[in-house]
C-alpha cells in the first residue's frame, strides 16, 4: 500500500511538473490578472455611466473632450477656441490635451464611456510592458502579480485619474521606459534602444502627459552623470524624445513660455511615509497653507504596508547589500527625484529659466518615478531570493499570500477613490462653465499668427523625425 501511495505521489508530481501544465497555468494566471485589472477599472469609472462634474473633470477634461469631438465631427483643426482653457485660447498649445489616435472614439461614445475605454486601452498597453518585464527577468507568477498590482493601482495613478488628470494615462507607458533604461545602464546601450525610449517619451506626450514627460527627461538627464558608460545613448534618447515631441513642445512655448507657479511638495520624509502607507480619501486635508495644496491626490502614492515592506527590503536594503550592481548607476537619479519631491528642495530648481522645470508646480508628483523603478528592481531582487528558497511549496504559498494582501490593499484604495465614491461625497463649487467651441484665426490676437505657423512647422518636423525613427527600428540591427 505504501509503495502504491509513493508511486501515485511520484506520478502526481510528474504531472504537476509537466511543462505543458505549467504553461497552461501561466497563461491562465496572466489572462486572469489582466481581466482583474480591467474589472477594477470598470468599477473605478462606474462602468462609464457617471456624470463628470467634479474636480478637473468638470473644469478641464470635459471641455477638452468637447473640443476634440467637435474637431473630429466637423473635420476642423482646433487651433483656436472661443474661451480660454488653462489660460489660453490656443488649443493645440495646451500640452495636457490628449491627441493620440484613440480620440476618434469620441465620435461614438459619451465622455464618461470614453474615459473608461481610454484608461482600459492604456492599461492594456502597460500590461504588455509588464509582460515584457516578466519574461525578460523570468519572474515567478506571485512576484509578477504583486509587481503588476502595485504598478497599475498604486495611489498616485488612481488618485490622479480620479480627480480628472487624464494625461496621467501616459503613466502606463513607464514599463517600457524602465525596461529599456535598464538595457542602457546594464549593457551600455544602442541606438535602437535610444530610439525606443524616444518613442515612449513621445507616446507619453500624446496622452497629454507633459508633466510625466518632464520628469522622465529629468531622470534620464541625471542618469547621464552616474551611468557614464551609457551616457552617449541616454543623451541620444533625450534628444530623440524631444524631437519626436516637438509638435507638443513648441506650440506650448507660445502660450506657456513664462509659466510658473506655486511649489507643493512633501515637507519631510514622514509625510512621504504617510503617503505610502496610509489610505486617505479625497476629502483628507493634506499639509499645506493654500487650498490647492490640500488636495490629497497631489501627495497620494499608497502601496500599503506589504508593498512598502517589499519595496524597502528588496528595493532598498538588498541594494545596499549586493543587489544588481549595474543598476547602482541609477542611484543618483532615484535619489535626486526623491529629494526634489520636497517643496523646499525644488524651489531652488524652479527659479531656473527652463520652462519644463519652472512649470512643475507640484514636485510631490516626482516621487512616482523612483517608486516605479524601485518596484521593478525590488521584483528582480525578490526573484533571486525566491529561486534560492529551498522549500518549494512554502515559497509559493507565501508568494501568493503576499500578492493577495497587496491586492486587498490596492483594491481598497481604488474603491475609496472610485468616481462614484468621490461624486457622492464631493462638495460642488458653484461655477458656470461656458461652452467652448472652435473658432477661426483672429489675427488681432497677439501671437496668434506665430502660434499657427509654429504649430504647422513643428508637426511637420516631428513627422519627419518619427519616420526616421521608424526606419531605424525596422532596419536590421547592427552590432551596436
Q: Mean pLDDT over residues 314-325, rounded?
A: 79
pLDDT at 5: 44
For 258-283, letters b (16+ CB in 10 Å) and e give eeeeebbbbeeeebbebbbbeebbbe
pLDDT over 70 (residue 292):
no
Q: Mean pLDDT over residues 185-202, rounded?
A: 95
Cell readout for 131 is: 509582460
User: What is the rounded average pLDDT for all residues in the chain?
Assistant: 89
Burial class (CB in 10 A: 0-12, 13-18, 19+), 11: exposed
pLDDT over 90 (residue 281):
yes
pLDDT band at 264 (very low <50, low <70, confident <90, very high): confident
Cell readout for 11 is: 506520478
Q: Mean pLDDT over residues 393-420, rounded?
A: 95
pLDDT in tens, 132-174: 999 999 999 999 999 999 999 999 999 999 999 999 999 999 9
pLDDT at 315: 92
3-class DSSP assignment, residue 53: coil
Q: What is the pTM of this model?
A: 0.92
pLDDT at 28: 95
pLDDT at 290: 46
Q: Mean pLDDT over residues 470-474, rounded?
A: 94
**Cα separation, 147 vs 154, whole angstroms:** 10
pLDDT over 50 (residue 15):
no
Rounded percentage of the chain residues whose pLDDT exceeds 90: 70
pLDDT over 60 (residue 178):
yes
Complete DSSP assignment for 9-34: HHHHHHHHT-HHHHHHHHHHHHHHHH
- Residue of 358, 34, 90 whose CA lies nearest to 250: 90
Contacts of 93 (CB under 8 A, 6+ apart): 251, 252, 254, 255, 256, 451, 455
Choose the weakest-confidence range: 133-142, 380-389, 457-466: 380-389
pLDDT in tens, 20-67: 788 888 999 999 999 999 999 999 999 999 999 989 999 899 999 999
pLDDT at 450: 92
pLDDT band at 95 (very low <50, low <70, confident <90, very high): very high
Q: Mean pLDDT over residues 325-342, rounded?
A: 90
Contacts of 210 (CB under 8 A, 6+ apart): 95, 96, 167, 248, 252
pLDDT over 70 (residue 427):
yes
Amino acid at each position: 500500500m505504501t509503495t502504491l501511495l509513493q508511486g501515485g505521489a511520484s506520478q502526481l508530481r510528474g504531472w504537476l511538473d509537466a511543462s505543458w501544465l505549467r504553461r497552461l497555468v501561466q497563461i491562465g494566471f496572466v489572462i486572469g490578472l489582466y481581466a482583474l485589472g480591467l474589472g477594477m477599472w470598470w468599477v473605478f469609472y462606474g462602468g462609464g455611466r457617471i456624470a463628470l462634474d467634479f474636480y478637473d473633470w468638470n473644469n478641464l477634461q470635459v471641455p477638452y473632450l468637447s473640443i476634440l469631438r467637435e474637431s473630429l465631427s466637423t473635420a476642423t483643426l482646433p487651433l483656436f477656441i472661443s474661451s480660454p482653457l488653462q489660460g489660453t485660447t490656443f488649443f493645440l498649445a495646451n500640452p495636457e490635451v490628449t491627441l493620440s489616435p484613440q480620440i476618434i472614439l469620441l465620435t461614438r461614445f459619451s465622455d464618461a464611456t470614453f474615459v473608461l475605454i481610454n484608461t482600459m486601452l492604456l492599461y492594456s498597453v502597460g500590461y504588455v510592458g509588464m509582460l515584457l518585464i516578466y519574461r525578460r527577468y523570468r519572474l515567478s507568477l506571485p512576484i509578477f502579480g504583486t509587481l503588476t498590482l502595485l504598478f497599475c493601482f498604486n495611489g498616485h495613478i488612481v488618485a490622479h485619474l480620479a480627480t480628472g488628470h487624464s494625461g496621467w494615462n501616459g503613466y502606463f507607458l513607464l514599463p517600457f521606459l524602465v525596461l529599456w533604461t535598464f538595457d542602457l545602464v546594464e549593457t551600455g546601450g544602442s541606438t535602437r534602444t535610444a530610439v525606443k525610449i524616444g518613442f515612449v517619451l513621445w507616446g507619453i506626450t500624446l496622452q497629454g502627459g507633459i508633466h510625466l514627460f518632464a520628469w522622465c527627461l529629468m531622470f534620464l538627464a541625471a542618469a547621464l552623470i552616474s551611468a557614464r558608460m551609457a551616457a552617449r545613448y541616454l543623451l541620444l534618447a533625450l534628444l530623440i524624445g524631444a524631437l519626436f515631441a516637438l509638435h507638443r513642445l513648441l506650440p506650448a512655448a507660445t502660450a506657456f513660455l513664462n509659466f510658473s507657479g506655486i511649489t507643493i511638495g512633501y515637507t519631510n520624509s514622514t509625510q512621504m511615509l504617510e503617503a505610502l502607507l496610509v489610505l486617505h480619501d479625497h476629502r483628507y486635508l493634506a499639509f499645506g497653507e493654500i487650498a490647492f495644496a490640500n488636495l490629497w491626490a497631489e501627495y497620494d502614492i499608497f502601496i500599503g504596508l506589504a508593498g512598502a515592506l517589499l519595496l524597502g527590503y528588496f528595493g532598498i536594503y538588498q541594494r545596499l547589500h549586493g543587489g544588481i550592481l549595474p543598476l547602482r548607476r541609477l542611484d543618483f537619479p532615484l535619489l535626486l527625484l526623491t529629494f526634489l519631491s520636497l517643496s523646499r528642495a525644488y524651489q531652488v530648481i524652479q527659479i531656473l529659466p527652463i520652462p519644463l522645470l519652472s512649470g512643475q508646480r507640484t514636485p510631490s508628483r516626482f516621487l512616482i518615478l523612483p517608486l516605479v523603478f524601485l518596484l521593478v528592481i525590488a521584483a528582480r531582487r525578490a526573484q533571486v531570493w525566491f529561486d534560492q528558497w529551498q522549500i518549494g511549496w512554502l515559497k509559493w504559498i507565501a508568494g501568493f499570500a503576499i500578492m493577495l494582501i497587496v491586492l486587498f490593499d490596492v483594491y481598497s484604495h481604488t474603491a475609496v477613490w472610485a468616481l462614484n465614491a468621490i461624486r457622492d461625497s464631493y462638495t460642488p463649487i458653484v461655477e458656470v462653465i461656458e461652452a467652448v467651441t472652435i473658432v477661426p484665426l483672429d489675427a488681432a490676437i497677439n501671437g496668434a499668427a506665430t502660434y499657427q505657423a509654429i504649430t504647422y512647422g513643428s508637426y511637420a518636423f516631428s513627422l519627419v523625425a518619427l519616420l526616421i525613427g521608424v526606419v531605424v527600428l525596422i532596419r536590421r540591427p547592427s552590432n551596436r
